[in-house]
Copies of this chain bind each other. A is one copy, B any other.
């Protein structure tokens, strides 16, 4: 089982039993998410930008506008922290202190670099295939002008850590008689009924049309084409 190295950046200080560093655990959390929160620093000021991303092996990709702040900062290499989180439930305990959340989160550390112009079109095709397998053969491809407006970044994962919590409250034995309801309020993002944009000549993408009511993260994780390198 491959593991990411552990440094001062990704070592879990608190509740280390909730942490994992192996590729499989990190990929499972990343592949269940479409959006990451990317942190970077410009002139000492932190910025956190929510951004759609995709993964190929230990490389993460995302795209943005060629006029964005991040793109301008990334003329040079840029240290980033890419964080993904899933909120799975509220954990209501019998004591205030033992209240918690159920979640899965991943923090990834690395250096963001621009994808070379010659590789941008293929990278963006891979993103569309990630969201909608088969779609890059149907949608009108990007023109040269459109590609120029799009910046694509990648990051090779240097370090990463996953933290998870699941299950019911962990109450102290002396609190079990407390007169208060205790348990979990489960939360999950769910796929709604597809909304066609006017009359359609083609059927809706099957993996989304058939997913109505399903948990988005499970459907999306199952679409990830490759288990990694």
Chain B residues whose CB sits within 8 angstroms of the CB of A14 once the complex forms: 65, 67-68
CB of A25 within 8 A of chain B? no
**8 Å CB contact of A181 from B93, B94, B192, B203:** B203
Q: Assess the A41–B38 pair: CB atoms within 8 A.
A: no
* Residues of chain B with a CB closer than 8 A to A94's CB: 139-140
Q: A150 to chain B: which residues have CB within 8 Å?
A: 97
Instruction: Select from chain B the residue with minimum beta-carbon distance to A72.
Output: B13
**Complex interface bits, A32-73 against B, C-beta within 8 A gives 1, otherwise 0:** 001101111100111111101000000000000101110000
Q: How far is the CA of A37 from the CA of B72 in the complex (A)?
A: 23
A183 and B202 contacting across the interface, CB-CB below 8 Å: no
Q: Is the CB of A186 within 8 A of B175?
A: no
A19 within 8 A of B: no
Contacting residues, chain B, for A9 (C-beta < 8 A): 45, 47
* Residues from 1 to 33 in A contacting B, C-beta threshold 8 Å: 9, 13-15
- Chain B nearest CB from A46 CB (Å) reads 4
The reply on A179 being an interface residue by CB < 8 A is: yes
- A11 to B, closest residue via Cβ: B69
In the complex, whether A157 has a CB less than 8 A from a CB of chain B is no
**Cβ–Cβ contact B83 & A139, under 8 A:** no
Do B191 and A190 touch (CB < 8 A)?
no
A202 in contact with B181 (CB, 8 Å): yes
Q: Does A162 make an interface contact (CB < 8 A)?
A: no
With most chain B CB atoms within 10 A of its CB, the pick from A39, A48, A136 is A48
Q: How far is the CA of A50 from the CA of B60 in the complex (A)?
A: 19
Partner of A142, one of B97, B128, B139: B97
A and B contact pairs by CB, cutoff 8 A, 30 listed: A13-B65, A13-B67, A34-B90, A35-B87, A39-B47, A39-B81, A40-B46, A41-B41, A46-B46, A46-B79, A48-B107, A89-B195, A90-B131, A92-B205, A95-B139, A96-B136, A96-B139, A96-B140, A97-B150, A99-B128, A99-B131, A99-B139, A135-B180, A168-B195, A181-B205, A182-B198, A183-B194, A183-B197, A185-B195, A186-B194
